[in-house]
Amino acid sequence: MLTFETVNELMLKVTCRGNHVLFTKAGAFIAGENAGAKNYSFDKVLFGPQNSLGQAVLGSLVRRITGENMPLMKVNLQGDSVTYYADNGQHVVIYHLGPQETISVESENILAFTQDCEYSVRFIGVGVLSQKGLATSTLTARGQDAYVAVLSNGNPIVLSNVSSRDTISVDPDAVICWVGNGPCDPRVTADVSWKTLIGQASGESYQFEWHGSQPVTVIIQPSERKGGIRVGID
């Protein structure tokens, strides 16, 4: 069994009981402990975490084309141990995916995920409005230990309309990830007028929106990526 916990909001603690495989951002390991000789090791993931070589090679090609490519490291856990992972002091958020639940996340925000997550890259039409283009990385639960750890530039907030069925609207460049039963892609809303063309835009011309008919949980960081569409005349 594998479990994820946060330590001081800035580190991921992974507790392993038995033999397991973990995937993390390359170089994210910071410490570990176990009884006896060290019983965990690290391998570079050449193509992808998929079990099939063909799928892994195809997935690697898609990630490179779409900009969702991320250097991954495979952690081979061979016995009981506790290991720790972090990335440049960023905040760590853990999500335990339920059966068939899917998390859509920017590749740069992935810190670690377990082997019970099926990893892929999926094209979305609205992605042109955010930094990463027309694709997003997705992780879908395929077992009970489907844990995902994501990174946030600052302490994030979590919005959910699962119970309220409210409309959620967010800045595309502040979104870390969204979670639902299935991809739950947002729709894009645009507020573009003549003011935008003469450089008098509010700075919030585009938003991602999820309506009440789309039960979703969205994690947002308190900063914006340097990306997106900028329309104006100097």
Residue 216 lies in a domain: yes
- Spell out the long-range contacts of 192-197 with Cβ–Cβ below 8 A and sequence spacing 24 or more: 192/231, 196/231, 196/232, 197/231, 197/232, 197/233
Could you read off the pLDDT tens digit of each residue along the chain, which spans 234 residues?
A: 899 999 999 999 999 999 999 999 999 999 999 999 999 999 988 655 545 444 444 444 444 544 445 788 999 999 999 999 999 999 999 999 998 899 998 888 999 999 999 888 776 654 444 444 455 788 999 988 999 999 999 999 999 999 999 999 998 889 999 999 876 888 877 665 544 444 444 455 678 899 989 999 999 999 887 654 444 443
Note whether residue 233 is domain-resident.
no
The CA-atom distances, in angstroms, between 103 and each of 17, 37, 53, 99, 167 are: 25, 36, 24, 12, 19
Domain that holds residue 67: 2-220
CATH of the domain at 93: 3.60.160.10
Whether 230 is covered by a domain: the verdict is no
Residue 182 lies in a domain: yes
Q: Is residue 64 part of a domain?
A: yes
| Whole-number CA gyration radius for the chain | 19
Assess if residue 160 is contained within a domain: yes
In a domain, 225, yes or no: no
Query: Total structural domains in the chain?
Result: 1
